[in-house]
């Protein structure tokens, strides 16, 4: 397996895409534009996963997030009319408090990462991509090393509850 | 400059933190429920990015089978799917009753 | 010059895809080749669809532009490029502009992992199938945004229908694919009971790995655990027609109800992008089906009829095919009316036939013959699927939307689940039975 080429360049390109996408999501008036920006951010993030040698997570990100969840979002945006909400006020009255809280959280992040910088001395490790999917499957299903098997079952239960919940919520008359 | 060109785990963590903050700002300030839900997706993605970055860091210490962070990321994606389905279901039910998609008009605390 | 030839020869001898070898130059060459090949295939498909459909309906189809209308697609492409590109006044300009590109990008990116041969792929990913399904599912985003951005009723209804349809059938499609991924890990009886390894082993998601698993297990997955593989293939074959919005599932663009569905407001160049994307998506899903169930690039009976003599026999097929096509052209040229008005057409058709025959002769050269076999068999299988698409369009009436949803959710999905469970159970039960059978025989 060859080492990746141009890692810094692609990292900054993809991060810029993710961040610009994120900013557009929270600033656009039109929900469809927000959704498209979010899709771009999600795809760029799948690229970041590939750079972190997590191809399976990247694939799941594309197929589930970009191809599944976001289609659901777009579908719902089109079902409910949005013309009216575009002309209204976009930010609620507590926006100042919200920004202040976010700034406080940001300060906390900065503090933590400047203090804890020495904890992560070396990050540029190279690992073969082959076997990643098999490794994830081992942790999820294997007889001996499958320590997340129970959690997996719980997750499937969660999905079942979500399906029933969504049907019950969205149905006019049950 | 040297620190900029050598991509380490910390770079990914900083990116994750920035994304998380964007999501928090979106959740706390926007009125449109759909965009609030999308901001929640941003937050979940920020967490995922951290988990996968840590997974790679962990692999450097414990060998390439230590993929716990990635497994967690997959669980979070599952959770995001469930959340989106239920959240949008509630949104449709709500829109049918009150003809609005603004969060600050959801102030009845009852159905 | 000599060095370049040596370099190319050295590359051809390697047994890796350019992506795996990390070879930027060859990866670019492959991308260009795939792009050009795909464009030619779409043009050919356009002509073939109109001709075959016409002959199914006892018509002639395009006859005027070029001999037997052979130049019709080129004329159409020119017409589309020269036409005015209209954007509705009320449309959302940015989204309207971006939507066709999303669809085209999704349709073309899929071909990064399509294996035309053991080394003839742009790259081979550890998550090949997942990547293909994921990227091809992005096309629905383009369709939805196109319908929404047009800000008009028919496109919006078309887009909503299309997104509901594609999301529904993706589930059934995914289940069929998962059953194949399961099969890659289950070594069983094999064809005539002479399979490879007797024990179960790790499966794979890589496209090349899946074809190699079929080679090792001595059978195409369509015949594995008969009839389970066949059922999985059937589910996929139905879902893939729905996924590409083709007849009989072409509700998103049902002419009689929605004029043209999601691309009603598009014209000129942007419309042609949708057209290009539709046909390359058809080729893409067909190549998934071929790779997963029909042995990808493998020639018929690679194990039972092994050996240099059979290899030689099957390596003659590409050349024979092209010679046959050339012969067909000569035959048609001979049947052309002898009027002076048709002289240019006759000459053109003869020239086309001569070119095809020349290609056929080149394909008989030993060095070429051995290398194009994979690509030929893969393309031939995909071409069979393309014919099926046209055949469906000529035969089946369009479904009603609720019927379509019913088929997806109430027939294909439960069948898919049953298939998955049965495959797993059979894979668990079969190794001991196979071992016992080997003991008895």
Average pLDDT over residues C388-394: 88
Query: Which pLDDT value is given to residue A6?
Result: 67
Q: Which residue has the tokens 């990015």?
A: B49
Interatomic CA distance for residues C347 and C352, integer angstroms: 9
Interface test with A, best of C126, C177, C281 (most A CBs within 10 A): C126
The alpha helices in A28-148, defined as continuous H runs, are 31-51, 55-60, 70-79, 83-87, 95-115, 132-141
Whole-angstrom CA distances from C256 to A53, C154, C166, C251, C399 are 49, 11, 21, 10, 13
Query: Which pLDDT value is given to residue C196?
Result: 47
DSSP reduced 3-state for C262: helix
Interatomic CA distance for residues B74 and C1, integer angstroms: 52
Whole-angstrom CA distances from C210 to C113, C122, C342 are 12, 16, 51
Query: Which pLDDT value is given to residue A160?
Result: 92
Query: Which pLDDT value is given to residue A93?
Result: 77
What residues contact residue C76 under an 8 Å CB cut-off, 6+ apart?
Answer: C46
For chain B, give every domain's residue range: 2-105
Average pLDDT over residues C65-91: 83
A chain contacts of residue C138, beta-carbon cutoff 8 Å: 62, 66-67
A chain contacts of residue B41, beta-carbon cutoff 8 Å: 38, 42, 65, 69
A chain contacts of residue C417, beta-carbon cutoff 8 Å: none
Query: Which pLDDT value is given to residue C373?
Result: 83
Question: For C104-155, how does the pLDDT look when each residue is reduced to its tens digit (9 = 90+)?
Answer: 988 888 888 888 888 788 888 778 888 888 888 888 888 888 888 888 888 8
Query: Which pLDDT value is given to residue B21?
Result: 92
Query: Which pLDDT value is given to residue C191?
Result: 42
Average pLDDT over residues C311-331: 89
Q: Which residues pair with B30 in a beta bridge?
A: A91
Query: Which pLDDT value is given to residue A131?
Result: 67
**Cβ count near C211 (within 10 Å):** 26
**How is residue C204 written in tokens?**
């794979």
pLDDT surpassing 60 at residue C294:
yes
Q: pLDDT band for position A123 (50/70/90)?
A: low
Average pLDDT over residues A27-44: 88
Interatomic CA distance for residues A7 and A18, integer angstroms: 16
Interatomic CA distance for residues A47 and B15, integer angstroms: 14
Average pLDDT over residues C27-48: 88
Q: Could you say which of B56, B64, B68 has the minimum Cβ distance to residue A131?
A: B64
Query: Which pLDDT value is given to residue C170?
Result: 87
Query: Which pLDDT value is given to residue C199?
Result: 44
Whole-prediction pTM: 0.87
Query: Which pLDDT value is given to residue B48?
Result: 93
Average pLDDT over residues B62-82: 86
Q: How high is the mean pLDDT of chain B?
A: 84
Interatomic CA distance for residues C110 and C99, integer angstroms: 17
Chains that touch A (3 or more CB pairs under 8 A): B, C
Lowest mean pLDDT among A116-125, C17-26, C272-281, C416-425: A116-125
Average pLDDT over residues C37-44: 89
Q: What residue ranges define each of the domains in chain A, with the CATH number in brackets?
A: 1-87 (1.20.120.1200), 132-174 (no CATH)
pLDDT surpassing 60 at residue C190:
no
**Cβ count near C330 (within 10 Å):** 16
pLDDT surpassing 90 at residue B45:
yes
pLDDT surpassing 70 at residue C198:
no
Interatomic CA distance for residues C370 and C379, integer angstroms: 16
Cβ proximity of C361 and C323 under 8 Å: yes
pLDDT surpassing 70 at residue C283:
yes
A129 vs B23, which has greater pLDDT?
B23
Q: Which residue has the tokens 């069929």?
A: C176
A120 vs A141, which has greater pLDDT?
A141
Average pLDDT over residues C29-42: 88
Architecture of the domain defined by B2-105: Orthogonal Bundle (1.10)
**Cβ count near C35 (within 10 Å):** 13
pLDDT surpassing 60 at residue A3:
no
Main-chain phi, psi angles of A65, to 5 degrees: -75, -65
Query: Which pLDDT value is given to residue B11?
Result: 85
Q: How high is the mean pLDDT of chain C?
A: 83
Q: pLDDT band for position C357 (50/70/90)?
A: very high
Lowest mean pLDDT among B66-75, C209-218, C400-409: C209-218
pLDDT surpassing 70 at residue C73:
yes
Radius of gyration of chain C (CA): 23
A chain contacts of residue B23, beta-carbon cutoff 8 Å: 22, 26
DSSP C192: G
Q: Could you say which of C126, C131, C166 has the minimum Cβ distance to residue A132?
A: C126
Q: What percent of chain C has pLDDT over 90?
A: 8
Three-state helix/strand/coil letters over chain B: CHHHHCCCHHHHHHHHHHHHHHHHHHHHHECEHHHHHHHHHHHHHHHHHHHHHHHHHHHHHHCCCCCHHHHHHHHHHHHHHHHHHHHHHHHHHHHHHHCCCEHHHCCCCCC
- Give yes or no for A54 touching C (CB within 8 A): no
B98 vs B43, which has greater pLDDT?
B43
Average pLDDT over residues C302-308: 81
Q: Are A85 and B75 an interchain contact pair (Cβ–Cβ within 8 Å)? A: no
Q: What is the ipTM of this complex?
A: 0.88
Question: For C10-34, how does the pLDDT look when each residue is reduced to its tens digit (9 = 90+)?
Answer: 766 677 777 666 677 778 888 898 8
Write out the H or E segment, with its range, that includes residue C88: none
Q: What percent of chain C has pLDDT over 70?
A: 92
């Amino acid at each position: 397996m060859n080492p990746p080429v141009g890692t810094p360049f692609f990292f900054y390109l993809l991060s810029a895409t993710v961040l610009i996408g994120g900013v557009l999501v929270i600033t656009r008036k039109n929900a469809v534009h927000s959704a498209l920006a979010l899709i771009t951010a999600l795809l760029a993030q799948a690229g970041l996963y590939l750079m972190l040698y997590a191809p399976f997570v990247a694939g799941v990100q594309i197929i589930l997030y970009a191809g599944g969840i976001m289609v659901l979002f777009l579908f719902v945006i089109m079902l409910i009319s949005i013309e009216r909400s575009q002309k209204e006020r976009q930010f609620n009255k507590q926006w100042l408090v919200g920004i202040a809280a976010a700034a406080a959280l940001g300060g906390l992040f900065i503090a933590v990462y400047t203090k804890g910088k020495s904890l992560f001395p070396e990050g540029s490790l190279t690992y073969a991509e082959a076997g990643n999917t098999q490794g994830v499957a081992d942790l999820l299903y294997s007889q001996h090393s499958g320590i997340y098997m129970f959690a997996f079952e719980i997750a499937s239960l969660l999905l079942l509850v979500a399906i029933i919940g969504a049907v019950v919520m969205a149905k006019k008359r049950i | 400059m040297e620190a900029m060109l050598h991509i380490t785990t910390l770079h990914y963590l900083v990116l994750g933190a920035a994304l998380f903050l964007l999501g928090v700002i979106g959740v706390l300030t926007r009125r449109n429920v759909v965009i609030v839900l999308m901001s929640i997706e941003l937050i979940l993605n920020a967490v995922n990015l951290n988990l996968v970055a840590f997974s790679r860091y962990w692999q450097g210490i414990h060998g390439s089978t230590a993929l716990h962070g990635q497994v967690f990321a997959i669980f979070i994606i599952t959770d995001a799917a469930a959340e989106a389905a239920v959240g949008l279901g509630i949104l449709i039910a709500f829109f049918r009753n009150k003809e609005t998609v603004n969060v600050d008009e959801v102030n009845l605390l009852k159905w | 010059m000599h060095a370049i030839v040596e370099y190319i020869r050295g590359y051809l001898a390697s047994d890796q895809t350019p992506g795996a070898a990390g070879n930027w130059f060859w990866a670019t060459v492959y991308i260009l080749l795939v792009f050009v090949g795909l464009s030619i295939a779409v043009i050919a498909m356009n002509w073939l669809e109109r001709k075959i459909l016409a002959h199914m309906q006892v018509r002639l189809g395009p006859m005027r532009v070029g001999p037997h209308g052979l130049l019709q697609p080129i004329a159409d492409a020119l017409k589309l490029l020269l036409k005015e590109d209209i954007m509705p006044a009320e449309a959302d300009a940015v989204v309207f502009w971006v939507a066709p590109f999303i669809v085209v990008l999704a349709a073309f990116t899929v071909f990064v992992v399509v294996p035309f041969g053991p080394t003839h792929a742009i790259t081979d990913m550890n998550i090949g199938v997942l990547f293909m399904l994921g990227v091809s599912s992005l096309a629905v985003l383009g369709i939805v945004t196109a319908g929404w951005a047009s800000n008009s009723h028919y496109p919006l209804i078309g887009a909503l229908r299309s997104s509901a349809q594609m999301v529904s059938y993706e589930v059934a499609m995914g289940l069929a694919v998962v059953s194949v991924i399961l099969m890659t890990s289950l070594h069983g009886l094999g064809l005539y009971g002479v399979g490879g390894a007797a024990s179960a082993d790790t499966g794979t998601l890589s496209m090349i790995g899946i074809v190699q698993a079929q080679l090792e297990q001595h059978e195409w997955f369509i015949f594995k655990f008969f009839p389970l593989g066949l059922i999985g293939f059937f589910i996929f074959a139905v879902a893939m027609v729905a996924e590409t919005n083709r007849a009989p599932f072409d509700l998103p663009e049902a002419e009689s109800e929605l004029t043209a569905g999601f691309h009603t407001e598009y014209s000129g160049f942007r419309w042609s992008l949708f057209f290009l994307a539709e046909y390359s998506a058809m080729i893409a899903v067909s190549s998934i089906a071929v790779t997963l169930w029909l042995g990808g690039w493998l020639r018929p009976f690679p194990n039972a009829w092994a050996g240099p003599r059979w290899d030689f026999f099957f390596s003659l097929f590409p050349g024979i095919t092209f010679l046959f096509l050339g012969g067909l052209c000569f035959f048609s040229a001979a049947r052309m009316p002898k009027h002076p008005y048709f002289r240019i057409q006759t000459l053109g058709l003869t020239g086309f036939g001569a070119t095809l025959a020349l290609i056929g002769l080149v394909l008989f050269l030993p060095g070429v013959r051995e290398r194009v076999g994979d690509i030929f068999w893969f393309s031939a299988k995909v071409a069979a699927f393309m014919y099926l698409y046209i055949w469906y369009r000529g035969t089946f009436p369009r479904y009603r939307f609720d019927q379509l949803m019913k088929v997806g959710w109430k027939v294909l999905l439960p069948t898919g689940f049953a298939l998955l469970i049965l495959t797993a159970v059979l894979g668990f039960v079969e190794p001991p039975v196979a071992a016992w059978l080997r003991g008895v025989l």
